[in-house]
């Protein structure tokens, strides 16, 4: 028995977790209370920190049954293998503690799978399809640098979740 990471449809994390909890499983959706500002008011809301992801405490056999449900796309796997990743109880407990003790400070979750110098392609947004190199500022902000040979480079701030690594041999 362990915590497995399930990928679900966008903006459906709470509903899917509730459906699975009704089936008898322990679930967790990473949320945090943050202040949201509209033009006419300010409100404390419960924001999902890791979109499209829920944690489910179950057995490996249960994951196979749950994966057949249309509400779950797939489970997180150990990179380079077909083995489903299990999150240790202690790591999830620490993560929950950080979210509950953050005092309405915006906790940013990042997989930080890209390092300075990595060649990447943008997957989403108005820059979709653009390739370049990851660059990091002194303050930790990440930028995508698009190099133009002999001329220089252009740089745009980009979210890590919008990037994908370039396959070996793929053009930058």
Name, in order, each residue with C-beta under 8 angstroms of 33's C-beta and a sequence gap of 6 or more. 44, 45, 46, 47, 104
Angle (CA) 121 137 103, round 5°? 100
Count other Cβ atoms within 10 Å, centred on residue 112: 9
Q: What is the pLDDT of residues 102-137, one digit of tens each?
A: 665 566 665 556 677 788 877 777 677 778 887 776
Q: Indicate the fold that domain 2-100 takes in CATH.
A: Alpha-Beta Plaits (3.30.70)
Please give the pLDDT value at position 128. 75
In the chain, what are the domain boundaries?
Answer: 2-100, 119-165
Q: DSSP letter at 162?
A: G
Q: What is the pLDDT of residues 3-36, one digit of tens each?
A: 999 999 999 999 999 999 999 999 999 888 888 8
Question: Over pLDDT 70: what percentage of the chain?
Answer: 74
Strand, helix or coil for residue 35:
strand
The tokens describing 141, both together, are 């902000």
Give 65's pLDDT tier (boundaries 50, 70, 90).
very high
Nearest partner of 28 among 97, 121, 82, 78, judged by Cα: 97
- Report the C-alpha gap between 115 and 153 in whole angstroms: 18
45 pairs with which residues across the strands? 34
Complete edge-to-edge strand list for the sheet that includes strand 152-157: 152-157, 142-148, 131-136, 119-122, 163-165
Question: Over pLDDT 90: what percentage of the chain?
Answer: 34
- Report the C-alpha gap between 124 and 140 in whole angstroms: 22
The tokens describing 15, both together, are 């509903």
- Report the C-alpha gap between 75 and 62 in whole angstroms: 11
Q: Name the helix (H) or strand (E) containing 58.
A: strand 53-58
- Report the C-alpha gap between 76 and 139 in whole angstroms: 31
**Tokens 């070996």, residue located:** 168
Please give the pLDDT value at position 104. 56
């Amino acid at each position: 028995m362990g915590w497995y990471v399930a990928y679900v449809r966008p903006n459906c994390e709470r509903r899917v977790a509730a459906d699975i909890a009704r089936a008898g499983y322990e679930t967790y959706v990473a949320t945090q209370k943050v202040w949201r500002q509209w033009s006419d008011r300010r409100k404390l809301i419960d924001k999902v920190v890791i979109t499209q992801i829920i944690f489910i405490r179950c057995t490996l056999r249960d994951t196979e049954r749950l994966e057949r449900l249309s509400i779950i796309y797939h489970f997180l796997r150990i990179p380079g293998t077909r083995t489903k990743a299990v999150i240790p109880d202690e790591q999830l407990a620490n993560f929950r503690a950080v979210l509950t003790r953050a005092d309405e400070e915006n906790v940013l979750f990042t997989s930080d799978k890209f390092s300075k110098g990595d060649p990447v392609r943008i997957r989403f947004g108005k820059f979709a399809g653009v390739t370049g190199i990851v660059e990091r500022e002194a303050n930790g902000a990440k930028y995508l640098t698009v190099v133009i040979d002999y001329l220089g480079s252009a740089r745009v701030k980009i979210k890590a979740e919008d990037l994908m690594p370039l396959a070996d041999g793929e053009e930058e």
